[in-house]
Chain A
Amino acid sequence: MTALPGSQSGIRLDRKAVSRLLLVAAVLLLIGRNHLPAGLLRLPEAAVIPFADWINIGFAFLRDDLGLMTLTRAFADVVEFLLDITANLLYGKSRWPNLGPIPWVAIAGTAAVLGHALGGWRLAALAGGTFVWIAVMGQWKWAMETLSVIIVASPLSILLGLLLGSLAWRSKLAEQILNPLLNIAQSLPHFAYMIPVVVFIGVGPKAGAIVTIIFSVPPMIRMTLLGLRAVSPEIIESGKMSGATRWQLMTRVRLPAARTELLIGVNQVIMQSLAMVVLASFIGMPGLGQKLLQLLQALKIGLSVEIGITVVMLAIVLDRLSKAWAHQQPEHHDVGASWLARHRMLALWLVVLLAAFALSFVDPYFVEVERKQALSLAVPVDAAVNGFITLVNPVTDWLRWFLITWVLIPLRDSFLALPVASVLIGLAAVGWRIGGRRSALICLAFVLPIAMSGWWDRAMITVYMVFVSVALALMLGLPLGVLGSSRPERAGRLLLICDTLQTFPSFIYLIPVIMLFGVNDVAVVAAVVVFATVPIVRYTIEGLRNVPAETIEAAAMSGANQRQILWQVRLPLAVPTMLVGANQSVMFALFMVIIAAFIGTQDLGQEMQRALSSTDVGKGLTLGLAVAFMGLTVDHLLLTWSRNRNRELRGLNG
């Protein structure tokens, strides 16, 4: 599809020319906007297609005529049953099997032993310490409500992902159907998943669990497919030559050999589950998320920081544990080792459990921490935050005033002033420049429906917020990445921080910005900027570090100094990787802007929240798809650009 460097220079020139022509047309439309017919500024009413009504009709048909409702309710009942079991065990909800609650010391001990088995003493301390913190701070019930959903939802979505992934691996057709669906699913904002679930299931914990399952399946499907593909053909042949049947080959050869990829999928499922379950508080999911939402809305900073710390620690623990599991390698025991030596962890666990139960008999404090026994950091945190805020207030106030008056409002107004026709043609120009006619058409196919959905103005506000945030994130992230890549230890540290920040549920980022800027556009932009800077830093470091040492040595031997090496050699070679980072940054920003709706924006996210509270599936999905299509447009453009650049730099196979 794409022209090779040199060989077909005619086509490349042509592409440039077409692109330039389209750009000129777009600019002309923009300049002459005051003389344009209204239909080119905004699509006329007649061109607006009632997507929402169509979707509603479709859903009504599924629900009422096909009786899908009974099916979903039945599934929901199963999920609820499982949730009740975990709820009983974890925090003593009075449901079958009425055994719980398990003393928190036992759970914390179990977490510590698990951490030790998977990653040594440090992970043990982290995992055990997190649960001790949760219990001592009196957040046990909320945290366990959240955790019980993850415990129920993750295995189900892992199973579902394995099944669908294997199906896609086995059948080309299934893969071709699943692939675009996954692309859309992974760019749909969280809220878009919630609305249909509310319609079919209702609100509450089971709805929260089900939306979590649906949301976290896609990465598992992807990793299953990837893992099964990556198994070396010789291993499969050796299985065949051992006389394995198809089933034996799948269960005993392919899946175990794909272990690492599958477990990385499990890690992603768990992290997605956590992100979703925290947000599911919007549809009545109790737990940490709901608490955080209430506290943030009441602007109780100290208490929400406490919850925030818990969520962050849980995220880190879950991520480290599952990653350690994925990268764990089997090790042999010495011949003739005793049972104790072979089952050291099991023995350790039994001892810890015994000790924990003994403790819990001594003092009920070790079973459940009563509300009045709980510690709290809220007072000192509030005091510290207040002190800090009075200190920085002049700066943040000025910054807020400056950003709102001189950046945000003018930019928003100019984005809104763009005629639809001009945007469409301009986008086609960019598409044509990057990937030829095909890309131009793909971009139009994604963006035209947004215009026709009647939500153009809201969409432009979303675009403006993402644009501002990503621009700021680039300004912050690029220098940080360049700086970080200069020394290996520093790069390692920075990458670790990036990795950790990426595991946090996006919701968490709202706490500090609300603290600093209050509830307004600046806070939203600040949260998005922080969230969107992480992938830029990450990929800049990776891109710069992955430049082959030989290339750099060659440049050094040509007499280039550090600055020249950076600008002439390393940065140009890192561009394809950095584009991938920019792409991820845009996706993150898009998701975050939508989530930030609840601190008061005027974009698609705000409308989506309204659709959620009025359970308007049609409107919600239309808006969700609009967001997804914006994401997919950027995704297509940046990844095509990155791929082409990579090909130009490293040859066809690079």
Chain B
Amino acid sequence: MLVVMGLSGSGKSTLVRCLARLIDATSGSVTIEGNDIGAMTESQLIDLRRRKMGMVFQSFGLLPHRTALENVAFPLEMRGQDRVSRIARAREMLALVGLAGREGYFPRELSGGQQQRVGIARSLAVEPDIWFLDEPFSALDPLIRREMQDEFLRLKGMMAKTIVFITHDFDEAIRLADRIAIMKDGAVEQCDTPERIVMAPATDYVAKFTSAVDRSRVVHAGALVVPVEGRSVQGPAVDAGDTLHALARQLLCDMRDHIPVTAPNGAMLGLLDRAAAVDIILGPET
């Protein structure tokens, strides 16, 4: 799972279109399972898309003359799957994204969030190995966007796929990403975990981006662990997977300088420097 993040014009949409070969790369190559997709013939490419790729679009890209069900079944229809099985599969996919009962609706009869759910169901109908999402939630209003992000995380948790997610919203990137690539003027500035991007920006540009971010929501206790080195280990431990934000109340009240950190399996990882953590939560002293 990679989130590509950048401002408009930074080349992120171009990048994803190169990966899907919707546009031809002028130089360089994209290989999928060892095959250069730039060298593929049209029929090979079509075959690849029918079996291995799915894509979600910013303005949904639904076919206005087809119902939600027919839209989801469209990729299956393209690859010649028989009517009964593709309708069954499309129904299943719509139910998965929470649109059971709306199968007969046409896109214009659905809200933006619902349309994008159809788009997501369609992109997953062929069980792709690679899932592209091109700013899927940018066209939605903030409340729906948040709901859809949760939906995305739920779906992501259910499957093992290579996911490329494009966004211009840094908060969204942090919320969803395993890794983030930040792009500027067509080049990747930094590609790293959200924590490392926030804590150790590679360039000034990245730093500018991350400056307004509430770090305590990004940084996990595990990231600040220092070795014990003979310091005393006492009292209750915190979970390495919790963000500092989640631990904030406890950290501010706790009187220990160093707090033990444990992995989810209970193993001891080391100590959390409370002063450093508080600095991140409240900002450094001035």
Contacts and interface: CB of A to CB of B under 8 A. Distances in A.
B90 to A, nearest CB: 12
B55 A256 contact: no
Interface stretch (A206-214, A329-337, A512-520, A588-596): A329-337
Given A331-B109, A332-B105, A240 B59 contact: no
A246 B126 CA distance: 20
A244 interface: yes
Given A243-B46, A248-B78, A257-B64, A234 B58 contact: yes
Contact of A245 (B46, B53, B64): B46
B28 interface: no
B71 to A, nearest CB: 9
A423 B43 CA distance: 62
Contacts of B55: 237-238, 241
B49 A243 contact: yes
B102 to A, nearest CB: 8
Interface string B207-234: 0000000000000000000000000000
Interface in B104-135: 104-106, 108-109, 119, 122-123, 126, 132
B75 A242 contact: yes
Interface in B36-83: 42-43, 46-47, 49-51, 53-55, 57-67, 74-75, 78-79
Contacts of A234: 57-61
A257 B65 contact: yes
A247 to B, nearest CB: 11
A242 B74 contact: yes
A235 B74 CA distance: 12
B106 A241 contact: no
Contacts of A332: 67, 104-106, 109
B103 interface: yes
A248 B108 CA distance: 23
A137 interface: no
Interface in B1-55: 17, 20, 22, 42-43, 46-47, 49-51, 53-55
Given A234-B57, A256-B65, A241 B103 contact: no
A237 to B, nearest CB: 5
Given A238-B55, A329-B108, A331-B106, A243 B61 contact: no
A238 B74 CA distance: 10
Contacts of B122: 238, 242
Contacts of B284: none
Contacts of A602: none
A232 interface: yes
B22 A232 contact: no
Contact of A235 (B47, B61, B104, B109): B61
B157 interface: no
A248 B74 CA distance: 11
B235 interface: no
A243 B63 contact: no
A496 B122 CA distance: 43
Most B CB within 10 A of own CB, among A242, A245, A246, A333: A242
Interface string B154-193: 0000000000000000000000000000000000000000
A238 B106 contact: no
A238 B62 contact: yes
A253 interface: yes
A238 B62 CA distance: 7
A259 interface: yes
B101 interface: yes
B20 A257 contact: no
Interface in A235-290: 235, 237-246, 248, 252-253, 256-257, 259
A232 B61 contact: yes
A241 B52 CA distance: 10
A329 B109 CA distance: 10
Given A243-B47, A245-B46, A335 B75 contact: no
Interface in A565-616: none
Contacts of B65: 256-257, 259, 330
A227 to B, nearest CB: 13
Contact of A241 (B49, B59, B105): B49
A628 to B, nearest CB: 38
Contacts of A256: 63-66
A238 B46 contact: no
A238 B49 CA distance: 11
A243 B122 CA distance: 12
Nearest to B65: A256
A594 to B, nearest CB: 41
Nearest to B79: A243
A55 to B, nearest CB: 46
Nearest to B75: A242
Given A235-B61, A331-B106, 20 more contacts: A232-B61, A237-B61, A238-B57, A238-B61, A240-B49, A241-B20, A242-B50, A242-B74, A242-B75, A243-B47, A243-B78, A245-B46, A248-B78, A252-B74, A253-B63, A257-B64, A330-B65, A331-B109, A332-B106, A335-B104
23 contacts: A234-B57, A234-B59, A234-B60, A237-B22, A237-B61, A238-B122, A241-B54, A241-B123, A241-B132, A243-B46, A243-B51, A243-B75, A243-B78, A243-B79, A243-B126, A246-B42, A253-B63, A256-B64, A257-B65, A259-B64, A259-B65, A332-B105, A332-B106
- Shortest 9 CB-CB distances between A and B: which pairs? A238-B61, A243-B50, A242-B75, A234-B61, A332-B104, A241-B55, A243-B49, A256-B65, A234-B57
Interface of A: 232, 234-235, 237-246, 248, 252-253, 256-257, 259, 329-335
